[in-house]
Amino acid sequence: MSGRNKTSNGEVDDRHHLVVGEPQIHDALNEIAQADIRITVLHHPFEWLADFERHGIEDRLEDASHFILHGHEHRSKVVPNPLTQCVTIPAGAGYDLRIAEHPRYANAYNWVSFDVAAGQGLVFLRHWDGTNSSWTKDTQTHKKEEGVVPINFPKSEPPKTPSTEAAKEDKFNIVDKKLDKGAKTRLQKLIKTLDEQLKLPELNPIVKEFSKFLHEDEDFPAFDEADLPTILVTGSGNRNTQIGHFLSAIEAVVDAGKFDKSSEEAVKILFAYLIQTLVVKCKDEDDLGLTRIAVELKHTVELISLARNTSPQIPGQDSMEHKNGKRNPHFELEGRYFPQDGEFNPDAACENIAKDLLKELMLDPDDNEPENINALNMMGYKPDEPNYIKTLAVYLKSHGNQPRSTRVFKGLIIKENSGHNKLQIDQVADKFYRELAGCRFYLPLQAA
């Protein structure tokens, strides 16, 4: 873990500052995926993790673990998750004093007995009784007379046959056979969250125009309005044009005099989601990257931070080096965007991100072919004074009404790990948004 934080008085304040790095969670779970019993042991509870990665890690571990054991709170209890059947058991204290200085630190322990075949178990809670100098049943925590809490344990499931697997797939392939259970869960949550965002009354005029542009786009499948969140999340349509459609929708509403200033924040949140759909985190062309992002849609900084999480399909840096003896070229992007050491330049990081996005859109500023140069020149690109963010904005806007078939097969792979500074990420997200929003033809909103 990393993220040690100190107050102005020099005291350590780690709450909401601890960073794990989701890729190592994926790596660890992949190694034990076939185990009959999977137990995750932590010290701090999930509430102590940094906000930008807490929910992704918590959901992933709860979905893949049978038990989660953690300490720090010194409060024995049993917390089953009815959705995943994972049971979280915080530990009691273990101090050398028989009589605790504070009731919270009373010594306690527990043990678990379960029957895998029956799918049932029992948690026995015990604590130290200072009055009688003996261990006794904890009857107060869950108001159980014997200090025993029954739990349900997931039974072993037979392998799914192709026929049952296919039956669960809907027309937009939400439940993809290549995805693990945790990814499917986060995908469903993401679709639900986006659905709530699109239904906000203040966004209604823009969403209507947005849907109209998508219906007119031959690269998007026919869809009902209720399917819009699914299409945006699963990539059923052409992702490198859906942002352009969104911008065109905003412009149409503004030109019609129907734009309400009170909807600015909601528009920015939706924009932040759409801009990060260009960040595809899978190394192949199956385009499953969006299933790996977390589901918090609170503000621009958090979204672009969360979009940095690496897909579990991509091996960790160490494993890549050990397997083929060469450095994975995707990791070179990390140092260019968020350097591990030396002075950090948010302007340069933003320009590098925009330049790489242009490359993925088949508009490589380093390509001197006449056709490529002409296309860039039409977007206002000046080789002697390059501004990749504004060029990207022109491309996205110009393709709102003139979509082309080019797809973003690969995208930015920005690995989430403990070496990245969240302050740097915040600076890049703010700068990136301000540059895009500052274009006259882009977003008619105040800068973030």
Which domain range does residue 82 map to? 22-152
Do residues 385 and 351 share a domain?
A: yes
Cα 163 to Cα 118, 160, 166, distances in angstroms: 27, 8, 5
The answer to whether position 407 is within a domain reads: yes
Q: Are residues 106 and 174 in the same domain?
A: no
Round to whole Å and give the CA distance between 110 and 88: 12
For residue 236, tell me if it sits in a domain: yes
In this prediction, residue 435 carries a pLDDT of 54
The alpha carbon of 157 is separated from its chain's Cα centroid by a whole number of angstroms, namely: 28
pLDDT of residue 168: 33
Q: Closest Cα to residue 57, out of 294, 318, 402? A: 294
**DSSP symbol at 120:** E
Q: Which residue, 152, 182, 211, sits at the end of a domain? A: 152
In-domain check, residue 4: no
Q: Indicate whether 16 belongs to any domain.
A: no
- Please, which pLDDT band fits residue 6 given cuts at 50, 70 and 90? low
Same domain for 332 and 240:
yes
Residue 259 lies in a domain: yes
**What's 175's DSSP letter?**
S
What is the average pLDDT across 237-255? 71
- Domain stops at, among 95, 122, 152: 152
Residues 200 and 60 in one domain: no
Q: Please report the pLDDT score of residue 169 as a whole number.
A: 36
Number of domains in the chain: 2
Question: How many degrees, rounded to 5, is the angle at CA 244 between CA 240 and CA 246?
Answer: 120
Q: Tens digit of pLDDT for each residue in 90-106?
A: 887 777 665 666 666 67
> Are both 282 and 420 inside the same structural domain?
yes
For 170-193, what is each residue's pLDDT tens digit?
Answer: 333 433 334 445 555 655 666 777
314 and 372: one domain? yes
| Residue 77 and residue 45 share a domain | yes
Does the residue 443 lie in any domain? no
Q: Is residue 285 part of a domain?
A: yes
- Whether residue 165 has pLDDT greater than 50: no
Whether 324 and 210 map to the same domain: the answer is yes
Q: At 67, which CATH number?
A: 3.60.21.10
Strands 67-70 and 39-41 turn out to be: parallel
DSSP class of residue 161?
P
Q: Are residues 398 and 342 in the same domain?
A: yes
Residues 237 and 327 in one domain: yes
| CB of 40 closer than 8 Å to CB of 65 | yes
* ∠ Cα 333 25 318 (to 5°): 50
Contacts with 411 (C-beta within 8 Å, 6 or more apart), sequence order: 278, 279, 280, 281, 289, 357, 360
Predicted structure pTM score: 0.37
Does residue 174 share a domain with residue 148?
no
372-to-299, 359, 366, 401 alpha-carbon distances in Å: 35, 11, 9, 21
Q: Are residues 184 and 111 part of one domain?
A: no
Reported as a single tens digit per residue, the pLDDT across 106-145 is 788 888 888 877 778 888 988 887 777 788 888 878 878 7
Phi, psi of 49 (to 5 degrees): -75, 155
